[in-house]
Structure 1
Amino acid sequence: MENKISLAHGSGGKGTNDLINSLFLKYFNNTVLNELNDSALLSVKSKNVAFTTDSFVINPIFFKGGDIGKLSICGTVNDLAVSGAKPMYLSSSFIIEEGFSMESLETIVKSMAKTAEIANVKIVTGDTKVVPKGSTDGIFINTSGIGFLYDNVDIKASNARIGDVIIVNGTLGDHGIEIMCERNNIEMYGNLSSDCTHLNFLIKNILETCPYIHVIRDATRGGLAAVLNEIASMSNISIELEENFIPVKEEVKGTCEMLGLDPLYIANEGKICCFVPEKYAYDVLCKMKNHPLGINASIIGKVVNKGSMEVYMNTFIGGKRIIDMPSGYGLPRIC
């Protein structure tokens, strides 16, 4: 196999077939994909299916804690899981720049295969396009996913209710700050790393503890601030946060203070916020804390009233601060 991607690899001829057989089938191997049909032929027993799609354009494509391949699998798995579904099948499409390193591509594909295996999902169909040098930035990946909805679960952004307790499963801003530091060669003390991971098993655990969770969202682009404002608007409620209880790593806090950033607005790739009826909140929190991805889980606030659709925070110093929806141009290329 050549050591660089060429336009021939996207031609549909021998180059494309060689790439598919020597790389993608080698790592994504399963009985559905190996049929090489134009569509994956799936046996779907559930009548209630969740379907999602996402594109990944991160820069840099390799970072501490992950890479664009791992990110593409985790991002789509998490979108299904927060909808109350068991992720099952993924598609994967690549847009690759001519001249891209074949070694880097193999590393990305291996990472995707490993992550999919750990998350217990199958990559069953895909596509590859090669564009002339300068037409893109190395590699872009699109993944779509199908999941089967769990029984007796109703999770929507419009379902938040007065009295709901808001729980996050860990520290905020890890991914966005890690990407920004790597992109700009900022060396920070401590153990700064992206939180990129799949959350489907954690979410399954908490739904088994409390199937009555009203809302689950992953706080990716725009961070927790964007997600909470979306939920407040969709549910026509207001949200009160407690700054003292919001978990943030010292490395992230220090970087944000130095650069004038706010961890609430920084992207995450392994964090969810859950809106839980108050009587189940402690059980859900304990279940989270007993999972490796929820050790730093915390109750950070509650739904306080209906109608004003605002998010505000009680601060360290005893004041109140409005948490607006992010606007303008945030940290670029973080997913």
Structure 2
Amino acid sequence: MSDIEDKKNSLIEKMGSEIITLAHGSGGKAMQKLIDQVILGFFGQPNQGPLEDQAIFDLSAYPNHSIALTTDSYVVTPLQFPGSSIGHLAVNGTVNDISVSGAIPLYLTCGLILEEGLLFKELIEVIADMAEAAEQAKVKIVTGDTKVVDRGSCDKLFINTAGVGVVNNSLNIRIPNIEVGDKVIINGDIGDHGVAILAARGELDLQTTITSDCQPLNGLIQTLLAEGIPIKAMRDVTRGGLATVLNEYAQGVNLGVLIQEAQIPMKTEVRGVCEVLGLDPLYLANEGKLAAVVPAEYADKAVEIMSKHPAGQNSCIVAEIVEDHAGRVVMQSDFGGKRVVDMLVGEQLPRIC
């Protein structure tokens, strides 16, 4: 059992049945207890000294690098779902937003919005998951904030995380680099996260073994770069699914994107759920997938490298950049027909991250 798991179980046994009150956001003794026992219990750094309202860190070990900065908020419901949780998501989502620029994520902030009446047990589980995810992604959570709102003002727990990283000045991973003939590679099956959330909500009595694909992508990306793969553009595939990312590429350079339906990696169970519920898997959310654009001559090598990494199993070429149908994504079906894959209109499934 890991140190994080030991801490979690010990705290749940000690205070899990208590609830969050408005006093825990008042700045007084109750808030200090929450910070000292729960938050610092997982995020505290050795020899960090007195707490300040900001974190100061040294980037001198990264000459010829620029700072990369991102922020995101997480409101997924339920807080725990098959294979992951809002805690894992709050760390991995921000790590991945930093990483797809080619940057190395280093530090995160953690802002918590807690609803009065939230069980300490639920909070402890989420904080422990954040600590576990940060350890896996090799980043540090260095500063944060906690607010408590009246019962009914939020749904149990919302999290905001900001991420700081460094990116080598020699890198230029941007959509304008995309050219005709380039290939788009994805690092595995699509739709797992969306189906896992749908099943966890229990509204449709959906029986499935699918778990969320939530994972950090920084290790996979740095492996590709270290192996000399010239990544032209890259996005993490989250809300709006693969279809949204491919449309961003097509519209960003006014070129076409051609998908071969047979090449789309997807679990049979995910496909079945989509058929039953009338969902299009190309729009389903993911939380551990990226779509990287590389020159055609590097595509097979990139797939080979990615497939050997734990975060890249079942990687494949999923699309090609073409001159036809400029600014649009078109899918070639298994039966020979074609259809336009447009941007998502509305929301297939709200609050998935």
Q: Find out whether 1:39 has 2:63 as its counterpart.
A: no
Indicate how the Cα distance of structure 1 residues 13 and 204 shifts in structure 2: closer, same or farther if over 3 A, else same: same
Q: CA deviation at 1:189?
A: 5.5
- 1:84 counterpart (102, 109, 118): 102
CA contact (8 A) 1:9 1:19 kept: yes
- 2:120 counterpart (102, 126, 146): 102
1:29 is matched with 44
Q: CA deviation at 1:258?
A: 0.3
Q: Find out whether 1:14 has 2:32 as its counterpart.
A: no
Distance 1:218 1:31 in 2: 33
2:323 is paired with a residue whose SS is strand
1:80-129 residue CA offsets vs partner (Å, 9 max, x unmatched)? 11111000000000000001010110011011001101110000000000
Q: CA deviation at 1:187?
A: 5.1
Percent identical pairs in the alignment equals 46
2:188 is matched with 170
1:100 maps to amino acid: L
1:11 maps to amino acid: S
Distance 1:247 1:118 in 2: 25
CA contact (8 A) 2:185 2:319 kept: yes
CA contact (8 A) 2:279 2:348 kept: no
Q: CA deviation at 1:151?
A: 4.8
Alignment gaps of 5+ in structure 1: none
Mean Cα deviation higher: 17-26 or 146-155: 146-155
CA contact (8 A) 2:229 2:302 kept: no
2:247 is paired with a residue whose SS is helix
After the TM superposition, which segments of 4 or more aligned residues of structure 1 sit over 4 Å from their partners?
A: 31-34, 185-190
Q: Find out whether 1:286 has 2:300 as its counterpart.
A: no
2:176 maps to amino acid: S
2:39 maps to amino acid: F
Q: Find out whether 1:277 has 2:295 as its counterpart.
A: yes
* Mapping 1:138-153, distance limit 5 Å: 138-153=156-171
1:230-256 residue CA offsets vs partner (Å, 9 max, x unmatched)? 121122221011111100101100000
1:43 maps to amino acid: D
1:69 is matched with 87
2:317 is matched with 299
1:63-86 residue CA offsets vs partner (Å, 9 max, x unmatched)? 011000000000000001111100
* Mapping 1:226-245, distance limit 5 Å: 226-245=244-263
Distance 1:142 1:246 in 2: 32
Indicate how the Cα distance of structure 1 residues 288 and 187 shifts in structure 2: closer, same or farther if over 3 A, else same: farther
Q: Find out whether 1:3 has 2:21 as its counterpart.
A: no
Distance 2:326 2:111 in 1: 42
Aligned length in residues: 335
Indicate how the Cα distance of structure 1 residues 259 and 301 shifts in structure 2: closer, same or farther if over 3 A, else same: same
1:177 is paired with a residue whose SS is helix
Q: CA deviation at 1:330?
A: 2.5
2:177 is paired with a residue whose SS is coil
Q: CA deviation at 1:146?
A: 0.5
Q: CA deviation at 1:35?
A: 3.8
Alignment gaps of 5+ in structure 2: 1-14
1:44 maps to amino acid: L
Q: Find out whether 1:128 has 2:146 as its counterpart.
A: yes
CA contact (8 A) 1:157 1:234 kept: yes
Distance 1:34 1:75 in 2: 29
Give the TM-score, by structure 2 length: 0.91
2:5 is matched with none
* Mapping 1:240-255, distance limit 5 Å: 240-255=258-273
1:59 is matched with 77
1:292 is paired with a residue whose SS is coil
